[in-house]
Amino acid sequence: MDNLFLRAEKRKEKALQVVETLGLLEKWSRYGSPVLVGAIRYDLMVALDIDLEIYTDEPEIEHGFEAMTAVARLPGVWQVNFSNELEGPDQGLYWQIRYRDETGELWNVDSWFVGHDHPHAHWGGKFADAMQKALTDEKRRVILEIKEALQDETGVRGIDIYRSVLESGVRTVTEFREWLEYTKPDGIILWLPSA
pLDDT tens digits, 122-133: 888 888 889 999
Tell me the whole-structure pTM to 2 decimals.
Answer: 0.91
Q: What is the DSSP letter of 155?
A: T
State the average pLDDT over residues 126-151: 94
pLDDT over threshold 80, residue 186: no
Neighbours of 185 (CB within 10 A): 13
CA distance 108 to 27: 17
- DSSP H or E stretch at residue 129: helix 123-134
Instruction: Please give the Cα distance from 195 to 185 (Å, whole number).
Output: 22
Query: Who's near 138: CB < 8 A, 6+ residues apart?
Result: none
Residue 195 confidence (pLDDT):
65
Statement: residue 115 has pLDDT above 80: yes
- Average confidence (pLDDT) over 74-96: 93
Taking all residues of the chain, what is their mean pLDDT, rounded to a whole number? 92
pLDDT, tens only, 17-69: 999 999 999 999 999 999 999 999 989 999 999 999 999 999 999 999 999 99
The one-letter code for the residue type at 99 is Y
The half-sphere exposure of 7 on its side-chain side, counting CA atoms within 13 A, is 12
Per-residue pLDDT at 113 exceeds 90: yes
Q: Which helix (H) or strand (E) holds 113?
A: strand 106-115
Q: How far apart are CA 194 and CA 178, in angstroms?
A: 23
The arithmetic mean of pLDDT across residues 146-170, rounded, is 93
Residue 1 has pLDDT above 70, yes or no: no
